[in-house]
Structure 1
Amino acid sequence: MSRADQPLFLGVELDGDGAHPAAWRASSHSPVELLGGRVHAERAQEAERAGFAFATFADSAVPPSDPDGISARLDAIQRAAFVAPLTSAIGLVPEADTVYTEPFHVATQLASLDHASRGRAGWVATAADDAETAALYGRDGQPGRPQDAVEVARRLWDSWEYDAVIRDVATGRYLDRDRLHHIRFTGDDYSIVGPSIVPRSPQGALPVFGAAALARTVDLDVALFDVRPGSADELIARAADTAAHLRSAGALAVLNLEFALDAAGVPATERLHALDARTPWPAHRARYTGAADGLSELIVALASAVDGVRLHPAVLDVDLTEFLFAVAPRLRDRIPLAIPRPGDTLRATLGLPDAVNRYQESA
């Protein structure tokens, strides 16, 4: 099967009010509402209606730095957990750091999210390497390695066999201790015996996402990558080259694409000009600005080059809605899309094989 014959999966970033640093100024709610659950639930539900395979939730230990913008955010795993019972199909993929966090706690929180979402959780593994984050944790250097944190998580997710919980009333046993396994991990910076404190989740092993740069050392299922801004032809050629390299490393290749659409009779360029006058939006990655049909054509062209596209709407309250009504129907008519259905796991939506428990296989 060629790349063109395989379903393209689409993701969307739901952090804050959008990718533009001044997006909050064009939103339909006050900034303080981002510290509650309603806005996050409504956006996740809208993304689910649009057919997105997954939604990501950005995070950082350091709050946003724009002095004129929003200066706080809720923890990404908490946001994903809140919307889990309020959605039924879309994958929920929060960011969590691998350097300064405790890998045992991250792994168990993510496993709990997979239980809450009934198998729709994933993880964007990040690697904070800036001095401000280090200082926040009272460190003067990186105490942890991303590859160690991901390996610990994968071992902990495997440390319970699926049938470890037996609930044997006659013998008074809740667990079969022989079906729990010590992971006995020793790295450069910490050691963990295990097992996890959370039973094996519906997916077993959650799909692990991460920036393309991590694919050299970290076991990723999905690599998220950027390409330099340029023409559509240049974007597609660069994306195809990068995607081929990432697939050779065993990861699905997902392009990050920012976008702003014409809306309510206002051209996208005019909308961005008004926002840029407040806070400029740096052009560090591929971006589309214009009519809905142009974005549809670009994504259709990218379908032969990449496994997926993660979209970053300029203003969520505007551009996500425009995508739902003006872009999503065009795409469904043009190319096969991996649109999740209630009951699907995120692994299944992404076309990943069922997870195999390393300890059960060797027992």
Structure 2
Amino acid sequence: MSTSSFEGGRRGFLALELDGDGAHPAAWSKARHAPDDLLNGARIRNTVLAAESAGFHAATFADGPLSEGLGSHGAGIAGRLNALQRAAFAGPVTGSIVLVPEVDTVYTEPFHISTQLASLDYVSRGRAGWLVKASTSAEEAAGVGRAVVSGVGLAQEAAASVEVSRRLWDSWEDDAVIRDVPTGRYLDVDKLHYIDFETPADFAGQRYAVKGPSIIPRPLQGQIPVLAPAALLADDLLAGDFLAGAGAPAEVDVVLVSAPTLELLADEIAGIRGRTGAAVVAELDVVLDSRGQSASARLTELDVLGEWDSPRARFVGTAAELADVLTDLLSVADGVRIHPAVLDVELEELAQLVLPELRRRGVLKPVSPGGTFRELLGLGRPLSRYSNSGTVGGSAVVGAEI
């Protein structure tokens, strides 16, 4: 990829992965905090507010076993705060940054996913997103008494979970809550709907059915934006409803694109753009010069303690060089998600040197306090698919509290 000046006039957004100590397996060795800080709210608050103050548009939260990426520094930590919990904690203390937790679709019930994400949308005032994860971990499968899911079954279960969640979010019309004191009615029952979802007969995963409706009102955004890695989207699903073509409804709003090099990343972005109308976000590992030490020297020190095996393109260099690379990426992608080698180190450099330069060049979208994730993506707020399509039946709920 070249480092030419920005010419296309496009403006994109930047997301930052905030999980653990950083993307490098030995990030713990350079962290600027005590190990058990990973399990308290102060660490979450400090990092997400630092990302927001730096001007990042979105923060993502990975999920999985705590030991991943922590090395021996985290060996004594026996627990983990899951991604949804961390995002929910960050919701009330932030004002502009989008919060996108990674939530598994294979070993988590779709009904629970939809209600938890809807709750996140409320506590963040419309800044929630959902990064779809489809686990292949034998340990996670054993934890819920399931067989490991792989191949087509993995993608189909993810697609079905997204579809169930979208239907449940629509199962309450926007004006379902009436709070009619004279009649004692909290809800208009005619504005609640059964979703009647059942996996198809040729479903490769474990079949199930969901009746609905949801147990909480429709999210503030109507439909919470859904992000998924391109690797999860099998070819047969790319041509179907899971990721529809330009101009057609899609179950995924944002596709995360990875490639082993920057040159191949640009090609992958172009290929995905030709197959979908969804937004495209490039994935990038980042190692920067810091406090007089070169990025390459820092990476060498980290690699001594653990090999960094990542499917993402990697940038190793100066803040100025990274600004050029991000400018090029944002001319072809809607956004870039940065995976810092060491969160405490890279975030400092990004905040002080990289983002200010990108704003000076005019390649970043403005940060909008009070704005929603859908607005950041340029998406309107959709009506419920069930509006004027029937009722849930029975009598109204009296005296209910949400």
How many Å separate the matches in 1 of 2:67 and 2:115?
A: 24
Q: Structure 1: which 5+ runs fail to align?
A: 230-234
Give the fraction of aligned pairs with identical amino acids, expressed as a percent: 49
Shift of residue 84, structure 1, vs aligned partner:
0.5
> Structure 1 345/196 Cα, relative in aligned 2: closer, same or farther at 3 Å?
same
- The correspondence of residues 4-23 of structure 1 with structure 2, limited to 5 A, is 4-23=8-27
> Structure 1 63/99 Cα, relative in aligned 2: closer, same or farther at 3 Å?
farther
> Structure 1 75/253 Cα, relative in aligned 2: closer, same or farther at 3 Å?
same
- The correspondence of residues 202-351 of structure 1 with structure 2, limited to 5 A, is 202-216=220-234, 217=237, 218=242, 219-229=251-261, 235-236=262-263, 238-247=264-273, 248-351=275-378
Give the structure 2 partner of residue 232 of structure 1. Answer: none
Alignment of 1:59 with 2:63, yes or no, is: yes
Give the structure 1 partner of residue 399 of structure 2. Answer: none
Alignment of 1:174 with 2:186, yes or no, is: yes
Moved more, 97-106 or 277-286: 277-286
Give the structure 2 partner of residue 147 of structure 1. Answer: 159
Shift of residue 69, structure 1, vs aligned partner:
4.2
- Paired residues of 2:25 and 2:71 also in contact (CA < 8 A): no
Amino acid at match of 1:55: A
Q: Secondary structure at the match of 1:49?
A: helix
Shift of residue 352, structure 1, vs aligned partner:
1.9
How many Å separate the matches in 2 of 1:78 and 1:116?
A: 12
Shift of residue 63, structure 1, vs aligned partner:
5.0
How many Å separate the matches in 1 of 2:21 and 2:86?
A: 14
> Structure 1 62/182 Cα, relative in aligned 2: closer, same or farther at 3 Å?
farther
Alignment of 1:98 with 2:130, yes or no, is: no
Moved more, 216-225 or 326-335: 216-225
- Paired residues of 1:92 and 1:120 also in contact (CA < 8 A): yes
How many Å separate the matches in 1 of 2:71 and 2:363?
A: 43
- Paired residues of 2:27 and 2:69 also in contact (CA < 8 A): no
How many Å separate the matches in 1 of 2:92 and 2:181?
A: 30
Shift of residue 357, structure 1, vs aligned partner:
1.3
Tell me how many residue pairs correspond in the alignment: 356
Amino acid at match of 1:215: L
- Paired residues of 1:108 and 1:197 also in contact (CA < 8 A): yes
- 1:21-73: CA deviations, max 9, x gaps? 11112111111111111111111111111221211100026752866242543
How many Å separate the matches in 1 of 2:170 and 2:7?
A: 31
Q: Secondary structure at the match of 2:387?
A: helix
> Structure 1 361/122 Cα, relative in aligned 2: closer, same or farther at 3 Å?
farther
Give the structure 2 partner of residue 36 of structure 1. Answer: 40
Q: What's the Cα RMSD here?
A: 2.0
Moved more, 52-61 or 163-172: 52-61
TM-score (norm 2): 0.84
Alignment of 1:49 with 2:53, yes or no, is: yes
Amino acid at match of 2:346: D
How many Å separate the matches in 2 of 1:342 and 1:168?
A: 33
Shift of residue 153, structure 1, vs aligned partner:
0.4
